[in-house]
Amino acid sequence: MHKFNRNVTSIRNTYSYARRKIIVLIVLVIFLLTNLALAKDLGVIKPYLILGGTQGSMIEQFNEPDAVAFTRDGRLLAGDTQNGRFKIYSISERSLSIVTIGEPGTGDCQFDNSLAAVLPSGRRIYNEVQGIVCNSKDEILVVDQGNRRIQIFDAKGTCLTERTINLASILVKPDSDNGTSYTSIQGITVDELDNIYVTDTGTRRVYKFLKNGSQDMTFKFQVKEKNNYILLDPESMVIHNNKLLIADEGNQIIKVYEKNTGRFTGQTIGHPDLFGRDVEGLAIYQDKLFALNEESGQVIIFDLTKDDTPVIGFFGEKGLTPGRFLSPDGLAVSRDGRYLAIADQGNFRIQVFELQNILNQLK
């Protein structure tokens, strides 16, 4: 009798589990259908300009371009990770100029590109020139991973050594017992007061600094919820209406935090099946959120004015030719809304698109 009851209980548990799985699949299908049904597939869009395109260390070449940003006057900044430098492009209809800033090393104005860690899986983590952003004065802030610092340059690219923000003594130490085995500063953004926010992929958190470079101790970033990490491999960030939108690469989703307190709102944008295995760069223009799916080589566009943040369009695909991408990483929109730049990492190039052409196709 007891054996019979156990068998019945086992069958009921199996049925209950299967039913839950079916419900989850139905919800997922509904999510994808409702999010993509009205979204416009813009296909492969021809870029306005392509910068780079071959691997190397010459001035016009890249070795894994990563983060991109625009200055207030429209110049394009591009991190050249493995070359230990970043570039400043001045783009006009009649000319193009390039200035390279930095070199590999551990001294002032240098960037460490050495091996950082080897994970148990065998994956190698290298130090890189990572996030890059401009503040209201057009000062350039660059994440120098290996040297555990944020280097600051003036609008012309002159290194302001006295303004360097040293992170070594501030960063939380990795704790393998809690599932963190390395430190890796990645994304960087600034708010309207020039406060600075940086993500640490390794220890799954965000730090905030005041514009003078001191850490904001009132910012209590929520790392866990119900004893589980909220983020897994946080990378890029953008700010929208006092919210901090974080690309959670490990969970293949975008998570929303309170900008001023660091508390998780519980809100998410997108879905793992929408981003495949990788959500990377983020950018905002006129209440539209642009997010990169590194796996598929697509740019996904969300409407931030709606409560459910629906997908309204997408473009691009994996490939080698113009308008296609291999492992795209960073993206940025110029302040005047003229250009959208994408770091096409696997193709060793930056593709620059005319943003208004994209927006017009969404209408």
Instruction: For residues 164 and 181, give the distance between their C-alpha atoms in angstroms, rounded to a whole number.
Output: 26
Please report, in tens digits, the pLDDT of each residue of the chain (363 residues total): 444 454 545 555 555 555 655 654 454 445 445 555 678 999 999 999 999 999 999 999 999 899 999 999 999 999 999 899 999 999 988 889 999 999 999 999 999 988 777 777 787 777 778 899 999 999 999 999 989 999 999 999 999 999 999 999 999 988 877 677 778 899 999 999 999 999 999 899 999 999 999 999 999 999 999 989 999 999 999 999 999 999 999 999 999 999 999 999 999 999 888 887 789 999 999 999 999 999 999 999 999 999 889 999 999 999 999 999 999 999 999 999 999 999 999 999 999 999 999 999 998
Instruction: For residues 59 and 69, give the distance between their C-alpha atoms in angstroms, rounded to a whole number.
Output: 18
Nearest to 167 by CA among 214, 228, 233, 124: 214
Classified as helix, coil or strand, 170 is coil
| Predicted pLDDT of residue 35 | 57
Structure-block tokens of residue 226: 């119900």
Instruction: For residues 265 and 254, give the distance between their C-alpha atoms in angstroms, rounded to a whole number.
Output: 12
Identity at 319, one-letter amino acid code = G
Instruction: For residues 144 and 110, give the distance between their C-alpha atoms in angstroms, rounded to a whole number.
Output: 8
Q: pTM for this structure?
A: 0.88
Cβ atoms within 10 Å, residue 49: 16
Q: With the C-alpha atoms ordered 16, 22, 25, 26, is the resulting torsion angle positive or negative?
A: negative
φ, ψ at 358 (rounded to 5°): -70, -45
Q: Are 240 and 258 in contact (CB under 8 A)?
A: no
For 83-105, letters b (16+ CB in 10 Å) and e give: bbbbbbbebeeeeeeeebbbebe
Counting beta carbons within 10 angstroms of the beta carbon of residue 263, is it exposed (0 to 12), middle (13 to 18) or buried (19 or more)? Answer: middle
Instruction: For residues 280 and 292, give the distance between their C-alpha atoms in angstroms, rounded to a whole number.
Output: 5
Query: How many residues are listed for the chain in this entry?
Result: 363
Residue 209: partners with Cβ closer than 8 Å, 6 or more residues away: 150, 165, 195, 196, 197, 198, 215, 216
Instruction: For residues 33 and 250, give the distance between their C-alpha atoms in angstroms, rounded to a whole number.
Output: 24
Between vectors from CA 348 to CA 343 and to CA 353, what angle results, nearest 5°?
Answer: 40
Kindly report each contact of residues 166-174 with a partner whose C-beta sits within 8 Å and lies 24 or more positions away, as own/partner. 167/198, 167/207, 170/207, 170/215, 171/200, 171/203, 171/207, 172/200, 172/203, 172/205, 173/203, 174/202, 174/203
Instruction: For residues 264 and 108, give the distance between their C-alpha atoms in angstroms, rounded to a whole number.
Output: 36
| Predicted pLDDT of residue 340 | 98
Q: Are 66 and 129 in contact (CB under 8 A)?
A: yes
Between vectors from CA 347 to CA 323 and to CA 315, what angle results, nearest 5°?
Answer: 25
Nearest to 61 by CA among 85, 92, 93, 95: 85
Structure-block tokens of residue 306: 């709606």
